Amino acid sequence: MAFSKGSLILVDYTSKVKDTGEVFETTIEEEAKKHSFYDPNVKYQPKLVSVGESWVIKGFDEALGKTSVGDKKTIEITSDKGFGERDTGKVRMIPLRKLGEDAEKVSIGDTVEVGNKKGIVRFIGSGRVQIDYNHRFAGKTILYDINVLNELKTDDEKTSGILKRYLPVKDDKILFKKTGNALDITIPEEMFRADDLHAIKHFVQTDVFKFLPTLEKVNFIETYVKQPTKSQEKTTEKKTEPKTKTKKAKAP
């Protein structure tokens, strides 16, 4: 049976450009290593998607709405439902000096940021640089090899899926407990100083309230443990120092 709008599903996928075969995104670690773009800082895991709610590009979203758990297939997405058509008006020629200190280091194909906009360098010459502000895959047909793994139905499944989506930590660090209409979420210690922690909390509570309609309260728990002072550390070190025994030599 096909999914209804708002169904929370987990899907593995690998995407590539149809005409070149370039693989550029995957949820599978082995595939990333195979195609030489593995990033140790990326958490490779099935993607959580709320069907029909634009969590992924339009063509992918529409195709998922026609699938069911267990489906494995290749989806072809044209540019109008993918990353858009190419717009020549988004290609600019600017003086090379506007790239500042990076001007001498830039090569064709590099991604640069000018005026808070990111673009791709297409040409360099005569002290000028051409920057393409179109999406990298604008005008391209994209192929998605997908594997629909599961539909999240219980409150625990949905909560776990949402937390894995936003918390960039190992799964065993994701802890929560639902009691009645309240949900307690433990924030991992390694995230206490994260610059985007406030935003993460906002997105988490927004999603759990949406997908767990009986929920009325979300508590984020941060537990801080008192660290020993330097004097306490020295005292501990002295107590744990091994005692050495010396034997007296007997007189001949």
Q: How confident is the model at residue 236 (pLDDT cuts 50, 70, 90)?
A: low
Q: Which residues of 210-240 are buried (b: 16+ CB within 10 A; e: fewer)?
A: ebbeebeebeeeeeeeeeeeeeeeeeeeeee
Q: At residue 246, what is the residue type?
A: T
Burial grade of 43 (CB within 10 A; 0-12, 13-18, 19 or more): middle
* Confidence (pLDDT) at 96: 92
CATH class for the region spanning 1-85+137-152: alpha beta
CATH class for the region spanning 154-225: alpha beta
pLDDT at 237 over 50: yes
Which CATH code is given to the segment(s) 88-132?
2.40.10.330
Domain-by-domain residue ranges, the chain? 1-85+137-152, 88-132, 154-225
Q: How confident is the model at residue 105 (pLDDT cuts 50, 70, 90)?
A: confident
Is 35:27 a contact under the CB 8 Å cutoff?
no
* pTM for this predicted structure: 0.82
pLDDT at 251 over 60: no
What percent of the chain stands above pLDDT 90?
Answer: 82
Q: What is the pLDDT of residues 66-75, one digit of tens each?
A: 999 999 999 9
**Chain mean pLDDT for the chain:** 92
